[in-house]
Structure 1
Amino acid sequence: MTGELLEDRYQGGRPLRTLAYLFTGQRRRLLVAAVAFAFKHSPVWIMPVLTAEVIDIVVEHRPLRDLWWAAALMALFIGQNYPLSVLFIRQLSLSVRTVETNLRMALCRRLQELSIGYHRRISAGVLQAKIVRDVENVVESTRQTFDSGMAAVTTLAGAIVITAVRVPEFLPVFAVAVPASALLVVAMRRRMTARNAAFRAQVEQMSARVSEMTHLIPITRAHALETDELDRMDRSLVGVREAGIRLDVVNGKFGALAWITFQLLSVACLVGAAWVAWTGVFAVSPGDVVMLSSYFMALTGSVTALLSLAPVVTKGLESIRSMGEVLTEPDLERNAGKAEVADVAGAVRFEDVRFAYDDAPDEHAVDGLTLDVAAGETVALVGPSGSGKSTVLNMVIGFLAPTQGRILLDGRDMAGLDLRTYRRFLAVVPQESLLFEGSVRANVTYGSPDLSDDAVRAALRDANALEFVDAMGGLDAVIGERGARLSGGQRQRLAIARALVRDPRVLVLDEATSALDTASERLVQEALARLMKGRTTFVVAHRLTTIQGADRIAVMRDGRLVEIGAHEELVARGGAYAQLHAMGPLAG
């Protein structure tokens, strides 16, 4: 597109205006495509004239050379179709595929900018449907509308012009089709819009259900819940089926009414032209009768084609509205105009921080937190589920901003910082490491593609991962989708290697060892110790082996900081931490 981002001009509530804007940069290609189509399609309205001429040559016994000239013209108009069809298809394809790419990139870009809260509210399956299905709907509806619309318009224009020249008395008959088509469109458009919206909602719900089902398959199979899950899926599929049937019936009624109306008009035109020629009311030759009948059939076909585009256009416009739900969503992480972070020492200070989620504004997930973390210090957050630990981590990352109070990074209020530049100095190792299908090298160097193989191997060595990577085949070994070829411990060690190559100043460990067996935990703990050395680290964990070596342990309850100190100090104090310690593994 142009220098202005598509999402900045997108108006989901005004789909026609938005559609015009989408193709702003493609106007030249579309003009070339339209001209090529008009010429390549010309035989449709030229052939009836030449056919009429051939019939009149026969009826009037005119010289045979007139017949050969008519045949040569027919061959010429038919032959030009091929090169112009290729030109038309190429220009149209370049236009719509460029818009398709721009739309998908705009959606992906917006998803990267939307807040974490938005992504928690909206199913990944719904967002996937918008990127895949809705964009395809816009592309296909545009292609069909341009193709069928150009065919109908050029046929109508050619038929009307030639009729005006040869038999102008029949122009009023052609005009009957226009109000008839308008009445049909007005009558059916509202119902079609409603049906398309209902169908789209059902498909999005189904996409979300499919995404959920695929993620739950291990749990479903492990607990023999296949029948229950299929029943849930069946209800969603039946909903799509019923909405689809209602949409198809409305579209079918629309097409049937259009076809009946224009076939009756076509019969009336043929009979009327024959009656005029037989009675001699005005001069109409036998060839003109055939021409008028052919033109009216072409006319009715063209108008029917235009009417049949109504559901296609409606579907495309509904998809534009659907994408607008993402592209105009205001819940963004706004970094424009904020100060860039060029260097991070790692000192983090929470000053009377409070945070409440949008769906529970009166309940503070973090309530009055004041905490000063020195650069290079390791602070562990412990407490029961719902105590606010994960919320604190998300505020450290910058996913969430305090609703009250402030967080300072090296003495600077994070509210005024470009968080994208801050995160270059941040690394996160979550409970479930996020790997993608590809090589070990691609996963470890994600975000740092220029690293040498020596640097990657050094990070793998420090992460206790080099041995199993070499056994798999080295840096080019493919790990499978989401690291399917690796054990949980191996996935975590690759995630640690990825964090090591970033050389972060601030580190967030979110239950990084909770899902591991004892042997894997030991290897991961050794790797984490190397990773944490000299870095400001925030740890959430429920295993004592992970947290007792922290410089300080912060105990949280109901969003409040109730106790803080070193492991031995807190145990000796006999307070909240000592109670959790006595219970065994800390609730995470």
Structure 2
Amino acid sequence: MTRTRTPVEEWYDGTHPVRTTVRLFSDQRWRILGAALAYAVKHSPVWVMPVLTAEVIDIVVEERPLSELWFVAAFMTVIIAQNLPLTAVYVRFLSHSVRTVETNLRMSLARRLQELSIGYHRRTSAGVLQAKIVRDVENVVESSRQTFDSSMGAITTLAGALVLTAVRTPEFLPVFLLAVPASAALVVTMRKRMVSRNADFRRQVEAMSARVSEMTHLIPITRAHALEHRELDRLDSTLLGVREAGIRLDVLNGRFGALAWITFQLLSVACLVGAAWAAYTGLFDLTPGDVVMLSAYFVQLTGSVTVLMTLAPIITKGLESIRSMGDVLSEQDLERNEGKEQVTEVRGAVRFEHVAFRYDDATAPAIEDLTLDVRAGETIALVGPSGSGKSTVLNMVIGFLAPTSGRILVDGHDMAGLDLRTYRRHLAVVPQESLLFEGTVRDNVTYGDHDLPDDVVRTALDDANALGFVDEMGGLDAVIGERGSRLSGGQRQRIAIARALIRNPRVLVLDEATSALDATSERLVQGALERLMAGRTTFVVAHRLSTIRGADRIAVMEAGRVVEVGSHGELVAAGGAYATLQT
């Protein structure tokens, strides 16, 4: 029976980064074991060569037979040559393990971002989230790789040196073991400050990423208002923060490394002088080869312990990124759809029953006691001053926001009990700023359903008044540029309308779909919208009279409440709030 793997985001715990890291690699344990064994053998020349070098020196000093020299030379050649094939084995095992964890982490972050509520995304900078997927995952991968490479080299060298020293010159083993507690004391002393400095540096980099993301989005506005220097000044202060945090971190790491190096170089000198003195006085019956071997081993030992010590900032950096990703992977502000009722068909009747909604950071409700019954196939326009709650209502229709109290019914079913993913398959949104991506016209129109035949796509473009300019661009395979940069605002809107038509939605949301267009583009888009709205339940938010006067009903909102409902003619004749808006 195949064991189902639990998704990373279901168990990820950023508050316990070491435990989480171990579990991330648990599925790769056999490959990691294979990598460790391959590394231990391929790295063996490092700790075997001092013994063989000592043997060569003793053969010369003691004038032993040359056959022994040739045998040692042959053995040296063999253990050096094996490094090539075993390095390939090691790299393949380790790379597969690390790259698999990297892919799983990025996919888990992407899945969780798709599951998190729209409210979370509005609270959190896109630049910060991008840094977690790109930079934090890269930190974990590189920290893991460097830690494994360096620690395996250090540990195998330590083990080999200590074992061979114990066999050949056991009298010097206690001297070697003094290096271990010295290194541990340094690590304990420095670790706490490194954790703090790494966390500070990560926060500064995330702030920089958010600032750069914001700056790139604002470039057209910045350029139009000649505010380039202001934006550069804002970025400069952020970059200075990153620089100062980076300098503090680098200085601390530098002091840490220097202290380690000085400590172990002094110990190496002491070992060399002590071994030479013992050989000179005949204290431990050491040969000249033993003196060379002990000196080499102590250099290796101190170097290995230094390497293990310098891993502390690398490990700390990786663990800090594990904590950082926990901000997303452990976030519980999710849109939960599992186990809820599947929506297979929608007629389009939507009813608000005493609905209220308050944003987390707001002092007053955005929507208060809203009751509104929208019939299937009806077009209802929402009008009112800014902040009256129009966009909040649209977001609740889409399911991005859930009522704080009251309920919303779709065809008599409470939206709170529906699988919103299946409900949205029957819904389309045309926002004020069309969200297009770099690719072809076909890719953008058929988004989510790439198998549609060309004639269906062309019909949708024709109904959206877009087929003419698409053919002029080169047809369905014409590339529209990043965010539709090759298209005008009206052309982008018509591509978005064609995308909505392809979906054949039963519920349609139009959020200021024509507000940013010139008169000519508006006429073309309005004609496309009329074909799109025909027979569908449509919620419209617009300021232009031409967009809303044809609605079946108009709901006038003030301070989160509906104060008037009726047709354009009825509301004008009533002389109330709607009539005031027209003047």
Q: TM-score, normalised by structure 1?
A: 0.98
> How far apart are the structure 1 equivalents of 2:376 and 2:537?
5
Alignment partner, residue 307 of structure 2: 305
Say if 2:526 is the partner of 1:550: no
Secondary structure, counterpart of 2:435 in structure 1: coil
> How far apart are the structure 2 equivalents of 1:226 and 1:370?
47
Alignment partner, residue 20 of structure 2: 18
Q: Report the Cα offset of residue 330 of structure 1.
A: 1.0
Structure 1 moving runs of 4+ over 3 Å: none
Say if 2:446 is the partner of 1:445: yes
> How far apart are the structure 1 equivalents of 2:5 and 2:264?
48
Say if 2:479 is the partner of 1:481: no
Q: Report the Cα offset of residue 25 of structure 1.
A: 1.1
Per-residue CA deviation, residues 22-69 of structure 1 (Å, 9 max, x unaligned), is 111111111111111000000000100100000000000000010001
Alignment partner, residue 326 of structure 1: 328
Tell me which moved more, 216-225 or 148-157. Answer: 216-225
Secondary structure, counterpart of 1:534 in structure 2: coil
Per-residue CA deviation, residues 159-188 of structure 1 (Å, 9 max, x unaligned), is 011011101111100111011000100000
Alignment partner, residue 130 of structure 2: 128
In structure 2, give the amino acid aligned to 1:88: Y
1:217 to 205, 216, 219: 219
Q: Report the Cα offset of residue 281 of structure 1.
A: 1.0
> How far apart are the structure 2 equivalents of 1:399 and 1:226?
35
Q: 1:2 to 1:21 in 2, by over 3 A?
A: farther
Secondary structure, counterpart of 2:421 in structure 1: helix
Per-residue CA deviation, residues 357-396 of structure 1 (Å, 9 max, x unaligned), is 0012x41100100000010000000000000000000000
Alignment partner, residue 585 of structure 1: none
> How far apart are the structure 1 equivalents of 2:383 and 2:553?
11
Alignment partner, residue 366 of structure 2: 365
The correspondence of residues 1-400 of structure 1 with structure 2, limited to 5 A, is 3-360=5-362, 362-400=363-401
Per-residue CA deviation, residues 115-164 of structure 1 (Å, 9 max, x unaligned), is 11111111000000000000000000000000000000000000011011
Alignment partner, residue 501 of structure 1: 502
In structure 1, give the amino acid aligned to 2:373: D
In structure 2, give the amino acid aligned to 1:103: L
The correspondence of residues 413-452 of structure 1 with structure 2, limited to 5 A, is 413-452=414-453
Q: Report the Cα offset of residue 9 of structure 1.
A: 0.9
Q: Report the Cα offset of residue 2 of structure 1.
A: 5.2
Per-residue CA deviation, residues 214-245 of structure 1 (Å, 9 max, x unaligned), is 01111111111111111111000000000000
Secondary structure, counterpart of 1:12 in structure 2: coil
Secondary structure, counterpart of 1:202 in structure 2: helix
Per-residue CA deviation, residues 421-451 of structure 1 (Å, 9 max, x unaligned), is 1000010000000000000000101011121
> How far apart are the structure 1 equivalents of 2:405 and 2:418?
17
> How far apart are the structure 2 equivalents of 1:488 and 1:224?
23
Conserved in 2, the CA contact under 8 Å of 1:2 and 1:25? Answer: no
Per-residue CA deviation, residues 323-375 of structure 1 (Å, 9 max, x unaligned), is 00000011111111111111111100000000000012x41100100000010
Secondary structure, counterpart of 2:382 in structure 1: strand
In structure 1, give the amino acid aligned to 2:445: V
In structure 2, give the amino acid aligned to 1:226: E
Conserved in 2, the CA contact under 8 Å of 1:431 and 1:514? Answer: yes
Secondary structure, counterpart of 2:339 in structure 1: coil
Conserved in 2, the CA contact under 8 Å of 1:511 and 1:541? Answer: yes
Alignment partner, residue 586 of structure 1: none
Alignment partner, residue 560 of structure 1: 561
Structure 2: tracts of 5 or more residues without a match: none
In structure 1, give the amino acid aligned to 2:58: D
Conserved in 2, the CA contact under 8 Å of 1:107 and 1:326? Answer: yes
In structure 1, give the amino acid aligned to 2:176: F
In structure 2, give the amino acid aligned to 1:32: G
Secondary structure, counterpart of 2:425 in structure 1: helix
> How far apart are the structure 1 equivalents of 2:110 and 2:277?
64
Secondary structure, counterpart of 2:517 in structure 1: coil
Secondary structure, counterpart of 1:364 in structure 2: coil
> How far apart are the structure 2 equivalents of 1:98 and 1:421?
31
Q: Report the Cα offset of residue 95 of structure 1.
A: 0.7
Q: Report the Cα offset of residue 284 of structure 1.
A: 1.1
Secondary structure, counterpart of 2:366 in structure 1: strand
In structure 2, give the amino acid aligned to 1:251: N
In structure 1, give the amino acid aligned to 2:342: E
Conserved in 2, the CA contact under 8 Å of 1:397 and 1:423? Answer: yes
Per-residue CA deviation, residues 74-125 of structure 1 (Å, 9 max, x unaligned), is 1101100001001111111111111101100100111111111111111000
Matched-pair identity in %: 76
> How far apart are the structure 2 equivalents of 1:28 and 1:472?
54
> How far apart are the structure 2 equivalents of 1:500 and 1:91?
50
Secondary structure, counterpart of 1:513 in structure 2: coil
Say if 2:579 is the partner of 1:581: no
> How far apart are the structure 2 equivalents of 1:338 and 1:168?
70
> How far apart are the structure 2 equivalents of 1:395 and 1:508?
11
Secondary structure, counterpart of 2:408 in structure 1: strand
Q: TM-score, normalised by structure 2?
A: 0.99
> How far apart are the structure 2 equivalents of 1:431 and 1:3?
42
> How far apart are the structure 2 equivalents of 1:202 and 1:264?
38
> How far apart are the structure 2 equivalents of 1:27 and 1:444?
45
Q: Report the Cα offset of residue 3 of structure 1.
A: 2.3
> How far apart are the structure 2 equivalents of 1:327 and 1:52?
55
The correspondence of residues 456-471 of structure 1 with structure 2, limited to 5 A, is 456-471=457-472
Structure 1: tracts of 5 or more residues without a match: 583-588
Conserved in 2, the CA contact under 8 Å of 1:152 and 1:305? Answer: yes
> How far apart are the structure 1 equivalents of 2:464 and 2:89?
57
Tell me which moved more, 130-139 or 447-456. Answer: 447-456
> How far apart are the structure 2 equivalents of 1:2 and 1:72?
51
Secondary structure, counterpart of 1:265 in structure 2: helix
Alignment partner, residue 402 of structure 1: 403
Conserved in 2, the CA contact under 8 Å of 1:382 and 1:542? Answer: yes
Secondary structure, counterpart of 1:282 in structure 2: coil
In structure 1, give the amino acid aligned to 2:282: G
> How far apart are the structure 1 equivalents of 2:237 and 2:7?
40
> How far apart are the structure 2 equivalents of 1:219 and 1:502?
33
Give the RMSD, CA atoms, in angstroms.
Answer: 0.7
> How far apart are the structure 1 equivalents of 2:249 and 2:386?
47
> How far apart are the structure 1 equivalents of 2:55 and 2:5?
55
In structure 1, give the amino acid aligned to 2:256: F
Secondary structure, counterpart of 1:401 in structure 2: coil
Per-residue CA deviation, residues 171-219 of structure 1 (Å, 9 max, x unaligned), is 1001110110001000000000000000000000000000010011111
Per-residue CA deviation, residues 447-476 of structure 1 (Å, 9 max, x unaligned), is 111211111111000000001001000010
Conserved in 2, the CA contact under 8 Å of 1:336 and 1:418? Answer: yes
Alignment partner, residue 531 of structure 1: 532
In structure 2, give the amino acid aligned to 1:256: A
